[in-house]
Amino acid sequence: MTYDTQPLDLYDLSREALGELLASWGAPRTLTLELWHALYRQGATSFETLPLPEALRARFAAETRWHIPQVVDRLEAPDGATRKDLLELADGQRIEVVLLRYRQRRSACISTQVGCACGCVFCATGGMGFVRQLTPGEIVAQVLHFQRELAAQSESLSNLVLMGMGEPFLNYENTVAALRQLLDPQGLGFPPRRITVSTAGIAPGIKRFAEEGLGVNLAISLHAATDALREQLMPINRRYPLAMLFEATRAYTAKTGRRVMFEWALIAGVNDSPAQAEALVAQVAGLPAHINLILLNPTPTYPGRPATPEAVAAFTTVLDAAGIPHTMRQRRGSAIAAGCGQLRARERAFGLLRPL
Ligand code: SAH
Ligand code: SF4
């Protein structure tokens, strides 16, 4: 907890912390699990509905906060498969969350910060600058927001990506605390393999994350494989240049035995050359890696254009020749979830989304 001095939000409490709070109030510890189930399995949204004796309920209401983020704006793709909600937090700040329905999949893309300090030139969130960290509870609340809605339709979230606004590893503690709450088998019990955390390449964060033992997937936004180019696109590369980034990534794969995904938004004439593909092949040599290619989504603040089909073909030919696994994501669907901080810009660029 880093950002305010108000009483803790109920969603900020780990199950252990909730147990300690109840114990400090002289309440039976057995209540912890009932309360936890109400919060994470039944999707309770008000103190009145909590399974508690009246006096304890009143004490919770008096001594804790419980903010359920409210939808203040909603955009839906014409096919109805993708929806973005703008959620308002207790202090009036707003964050974007995306729900994606694709066949049996129900994926949520959630945010970890309001704004972002990294300033990647192609990113609409980067253009906002950093506003503030999200608390663990505010991260968790985004997932419960969709989970409640899906449960009402006898569905549930199947996948979760931390690819919305913000850089998860510059809000490290709160992000990891939120993940632990979401993974807790006594609560939502989200399967770790169905969660993906995406980082712009905060090398110390990657190393630290390897030690957490969470078992979730890691994606690294690479976008360029030479320092000269990556620096231009992602200023964070000056602090954590490619050598540091890959040293951390190798430590991560060695420790976890897990494959990493590299995100690469193809920008015409910028990072879509066979030379960049060769550099990428050299960087990932020997790493258990998968390259997620995506076409740049144009934003009003960046003049870059998506790569042409010819350039994409030449780029992937180099990867294929080297035997590097890769997929190209479609602009609709998962491509939207890959950068939900950019949806507002995408809406303008493509008329892809319409206000409800
Ligand atoms: N800060 C983290 C996670 C949020 S951004 C990170 O950078 O990884 C989620 C993904 O969207 C990242 O891979 C990011 O590089 C990508 N992205 C941002 N702007 C984009 C754009 N205009 N077109 C395509 N992908 C974009
Ligand atoms: Fe921040 Fe990620 Fe956008 Fe870069 S791409 S500015 S790290 S949110």
Q: CATH number of the domain that 103 lies in?
A: 3.20.20.70
**Is the CB of residue 307 below 6 angstroms from any atom belonging to ligand 1?**
no
Which ligand is the nearest neighbour of the Cα of 336? 1
Please list, in sequence order, all residues whose beta carbon lies within 8 angstroms of the beta carbon of residue 232, skipping any fewer than 6 positions away: 121, 224
23-28: Cβ within 8 A, 24+ apart:
25/56, 25/59, 27/56
Quote the pLDDT of residue 29: 85
* β pairing state of 217-221 and 195-199: parallel
Instruction: List all residues whose CB is within 6 A of at least one atom of ligand 2.
Output: 116, 118-120, 123, 125-126, 166-167, 200, 221, 341
State the Cα–Cα distance between residues 233 and 217, nearest whole angstrom: 24
**Is there a single domain that holds both residue 85 and residue 165?**
yes
Per-residue pLDDT band at 32 (split at 50, 70, 90): very high
Mean of pLDDT values over 201-215:
98
My answer on whether 85 and 229 are in the same domain is: yes
- Residue with structure tokens 């974007």? 96
Task: State the pLDDT at residue 5.
Answer: 55
55 and 81 assigned to the same domain: no
Alpha-carbon distance of 155 to 147, in angstroms, equals 8
Q: How many Cα atoms sit within 13 Å of 25 on the Cβ side?
A: 21
Please check whether residue 116 lies inside any domain of the structure. yes
Closest residue by Cα to atom 8, ligand 1, is: 199
Q: What is the pLDDT of residue 6?
A: 62
Domain identity same for 80 and 163: yes
Please indicate, yes or no, if residue 249 is contained in any of the structural domains. Answer: yes
Which atom of ligand 1 sits closest to the CA of residue 165?
4
Structure confidence at residue 114 as a pLDDT band (50, 70, 90): very high
Write the pLDDT tens digit of every residue in 150-175.
Answer: 999 999 999 999 999 999 999 999 99
Cα three-residue angle 201-273-305, rounded to 5 degrees: 80
Q: Do 346 and 331 reside in the same domain of the chain? A: yes
117 beta partners: none
Beta-carbon count within 10 A of 164 CB: 29
**Which one of 16, 33, 63 terminates a domain?**
63
pLDDT at 339 over 70: no
Residue 356 included in any domain: no
**Rg for the chain (alpha carbons), in Å?**
21
User: Is residue 225 a part of any domain in this protein?
Assistant: yes
Write the pLDDT tens digit of every residue in 289-325. 999 999 999 988 899 999 999 999 999 999 999 999 9
The reported pLDDT for the residue numbered 68 is 97
Does residue 349 register a pLDDT over 50?
Answer: no
Answer whether residue 342 is part of any domain. yes
Residue nearest to atom 13 of ligand 1 (CA): 221
Has residue 355 been placed in a domain? no
Is 338's C-beta closer than 6 angstroms to any atom of ligand 1?
yes
Residue nearest to atom 22 of ligand 1 (CA): 297
Q: Last residue of a domain, which of 63, 80, 102?
A: 63
Q: Tell whether 42 and 117 lie within a shared domain.
A: no
Annotated active-site positions, please? 96, 340
**pLDDT at residue 350, as a whole number:** 33
What's 10's domain CATH number? 1.10.150.530
Top pLDDT among 298 and 269 is at 269
Confidence category of residue 348, pLDDT binned at 50, 70, 90: very low
Amino acid identity at 89: L
Does ligand 1 lie within 6 Å of residue 11's CB atom? no
The answer to whether residues 40 and 170 belong to one domain is no
294, 266 Cβ separation under 8 angstroms: yes
Q: Is 292 helix (H, G, I), strand (E, B) or coil?
A: strand
Same domain, 32 and 90: no
Distance 304 CA to ligand 2 centre (A): 16
Number of folded domains in the chain?
Answer: 2
- Closest-CA residue, ligand 2 atom 8, reads 166
**250-264, 310-324, 338-352: range with lowest mean pLDDT:** 338-352
Whether the predicted pLDDT of 214 surpasses 80: yes
The answer to whether the CB of 107 falls within 8 A of the CB of 155 is no
Q: Looking at 44, 63, 82, which one is the last position of a domain?
A: 63
Query: Are 10 and 156 within one domain?
Result: no
Residue 278 burial (C-beta neighbours within 10 Å; 0-12, 13-18, 19+) = middle
d(CA 138, CA 133): 9
pLDDT at 331: 55
Residues 229 and 302 in one domain: yes
Say yes or no: 278 and 338 in one domain.
yes
Ordered alpha helix ranges (H), 113-241: 124-128, 136-152, 172-183, 203-212, 227-233, 236-239
Res 333 pLDDT > 90: no
Ligand 2 centre distance from Cα of residue 272 (Å): 20
Residue span of the structural domain in which 57 resides: 3-63
CB distance 196 to ligand 1 below 6 Å: no
Where residue 113 falls (left for φ over 0; alpha for ψ -120 to 50; beta otherwise) is beta
CA-proximal residue: ligand 1, atom 7 (nearest) = 200
- List the beta bridge partners of residue 261: 219, 290
- Say what the pLDDT of residue 299 is: 87
142 and 248 belong to one structural domain: yes
